[in-house]
Structure 1
Amino acid sequence: MSAELKITDRSFQFAVRIVKLCQFLEKQDRVSRTLAHQLLRSGTSIGANAEEAQAGQSKPDFIAKMSISRKEARETLYWLRLLKEAELISETKLDEIIQEADELVRILTAIVKTAQTGGKDGK
């Protein structure tokens, strides 16, 4: 299984977790609901862009889509950290998903760098 296929599966599973977290946040106060909308948008976009990259029309298109996926992962990490620091949800519930978001950022960064340098995982 190539790194790109693995990232699509992993980012999909991450999106499922984000959806469930946002469903929980929607039941909370106004601030939590507002943040949930931001988190839902960015957290589900990671996998969507990774999937689009698989059908990239060219290497630059692949790199562009994976770069967008990485940017969305970084934004998602921001919203998760904000939820944690603002104490809108218990720290223990967020630690694991924050770690997963951080790992996604690292993996996507490696995929983009490999593709830019023409490594074996690049398209």
Structure 2
Amino acid sequence: MGYIERNNAVVDKSFYFACKIVLYSEKLKAKRYFEIGSQLLKAGTSIGANVRESQRAVSTKDFKNKLGIALKEADETSYWLDIIEETQLSEVPKGFREDCEELMKLLVTIIKNS
């Protein structure tokens, strides 16, 4: 049994983004870019982990805190993608930047409106 969609945009998008990050980081590691692949893997999967954790928050403050951490991780993911592109280590897959930006916008909106 695999992932069951939650019909929650930020939860589902962050999960599928994490899956893409896992696969891309494996490609980086196969090219022997172990450190950058690991950094990207940690930051990119942490977004979804924190979003998911926020769904079991015990208070609004806890909810916003978890989403704030997810936002920071999304920004860090964007940073590692910048490094990869600027150094030309690898081509960043099409749509990664847009997915990351969309997640950040969603997170900011949810945090502001909670």
Q: TM-score of the superposition, structure 1-length normalised?
A: 0.83
Shift of 1:95: 4.1
Partner of 1:100: 99
Larger radius of gyration: 1
Matches within 5 A, 1:1-123: 5-29=8-32, 32-90=33-91, 93-115=92-114
* Structure 1 stretches of at least 4 aligned residues deviating more than 4 Å after TM superposition: none
Stretches of structure 1 lacking an aligned partner (at least 5 in a row)? 116-123
Is the 8 Å Cα contact of residues 84 and 94 (structure 1) preserved in structure 2? Answer: no
Contact 1:81 1:98 in 2 (8 A): no
Cα-Cα RMSD: 1.3
Provide the C-alpha distance between the structure 1 equivalents of 2:105 and 2:96, rounded to a whole number of angstroms: 14
How many residues get paired?
A: 108
- Could you say what secondary structure the match of 1:94 adopts? coil
Deviations 1:4-52 (A, max 9, x none): 92101000000000000001001113xx211011000010000000001
Counterparts of 1:86 and 1:99, CA distance in 2: 20
TM-score, normalised to structure 2's length?
0.90
